[in-house]
Amino acid sequence: MTLIERYGRHLPVPPDVAPVSLGEGGTPLLPSRRLGPALGLDLWFKLEGQNPTGSFKDRGMTVAVTLARARGARAVICASTGNTAASAAAYAARAGLAAAVVVPRGRVARGKLAQALACGAEVWEIEGDFDRALELVRATAASVPAVALVNSVNPDRLQGQKTAAFEICDAFAGDRPPDAVVLPVGNAGNITAYHMGFEEYRRAGRLAALPAMIGVQAAGAAPLVLGRDVPNPETVATAIRIGRPASAEGARRAVAQTGGAFAAVPDEAILDAQRRLAAEEGVFVEPASAAPVAALLEAAAGRAPEVAARVRPGVRVVCVLTGHGLKDPDAGARLGRPSRVLEAEPAAVARELDRLAGGGPAA
């Protein structure tokens, strides 16, 4: 079943409109095996990297492209740090529409660019950051008929993305709902969408209380923590390298109305969290997606009191892992031990195996 079929009565898609779908949504909610116990938390991971193009953007794109096509669009356009481009390109291809994506030159992870190009999108690189790219597409898209803007400033995107909150509630139905939901924040559409989703379920009597929403930014791109725009945002987490979030208002409301918080984490903490997620949980995410886990680790180390205050021992926490590690192979390859060259002989391999297994009998 497509996401639109599953949650149709919560979505603005008329029943006679055929969904443009790649099988998005229904992503795993995985209990943590090591980090949670080490932190004294009942920690869960929502694996949004399992969506068709490897990020949560697909939840919004299925609704945005479905409605764009139904309204007669022939092309879609977006500004992107990479994942929106990959998703827009794929859903446009599926729908039979043209796609153009405007990206900051040299600042898009390799996997994401490959996805957009492979799906036939026109990729337009600009000398400027995401904020400038979004300014450009917002200033121009409306003046060209039959072009739909599919950034998260398009409300259809947020409608689709709120379904992740529904899935979390449905997964814990009849059980204790999460006390806190922690997610990375860039342009702030996703935190706004989760808040909408939780609020809709609460009003429908399907959720007793809203979880505290904790929005995590990179220290070099933290306008919501600082309370002002950041002119030249810098972070290894390119998906959240944004200095002027379009949905800042929605993000502030989400945090205020749920007793949540914004937090900033340094790049070193993000990379450490990315490495630990992969090495200790087997979950390989892109850097931006490790920011929520970095915030929990920083809180445990006494460096994020605003997070620690809301994530007391024993609480149930869901970290939203927004995008797949394969998106950014350059960041991923730096995480583990470097590969080594072995002699192509059984003795050489056996020697290494013996060392690996600690010299004991084979398991």
Binding-site ranges for ligand PLP (CB under 6 A)? 55, 57, 83, 152, 184-190, 239-240, 286, 288-289, 322-323
From residue 295, alpha-carbon distances to 135, 216, 262, 274 in Å are: 30, 7, 10, 12
Can you tell me the distance from the alpha carbon of 89 to that of 11, in angstroms, rounded to the nearest whole number? 22
Q: Which is nearer to ligand PLP, 62 or 289 (CB)?
A: 289
Which is nearer to ligand PLP, 19 or 160 (by Cβ)?
Answer: 160
Nearest residue (CB) to ligand PLP, 111 versus 184: 184
> Residue 152 or 154: which CB sits closer to ligand PLP?
152
124 by DSSP, 3-state: which? strand
Cβ at position 244, least distance to ligand PLP in Å = 12
The amino acid at residue 184 is P
- List the Cα angle 29/267/164 in 5-degree steps: 25
Closest CA to 244 of 269, 259, 226: 226
Q: Which pair of structure tokens corresponds to residue 221? A: 């791109």
Shortest Cβ 72–ligand PLP spacing (Å): 27
- 187: Cα separation from own chain's centroid: 11
Position closest to ligand PLP via CB: 323
Least separation in angstroms between residue 314's CB and ligand PLP is 28
Residue 185, token pair as written in the block:
């924040």
Smaller CB distance to ligand PLP: residue 21 or 187? 187
Nearest CB to ligand PLP, comparing residues 187 and 258:
187
CB of 335 vs ligand PLP, minimal distance in Å = 16
Residue 239 Cα to chain centre, angstroms:
8
Q: What is the 8-class DSSP label of residue 240?
A: G
Q: Which residues contact 362 (CB under 8 A, 6 or more apart)?
A: none
User: Toward ligand PLP, which CB reaches closer, 93 or 188?
Assistant: 188
Helix (H) or strand (E) holding 262: strand 261-265
Q: Which of 288, 292, 308 is nearest to 181 (CA)?
A: 292
Q: Which residue has the tokens 């060209």?
A: 144
Least separation in angstroms between residue 44's CB and ligand PLP is 18
CB under 8 Å to 363, separation ≥6 — which residues? 357
What is the closest distance, in whole angstroms, from the C-beta atom of residue 176 to ligand PLP in the complex?
Answer: 27
User: From CA 32, how far away is CA 120, in angstroms rounded?
Assistant: 38
Q: How far is the CB of 196 from ligand PLP (least distance, A)?
A: 12
Paired residues of 125 in beta bridges: 103
Which is nearer to ligand PLP, 118 or 209 (by Cβ)? 118
Q: Could you say which DSSP state residue 68 is in?
A: H
Least Å distance, CB 52 to ligand PLP, is 14
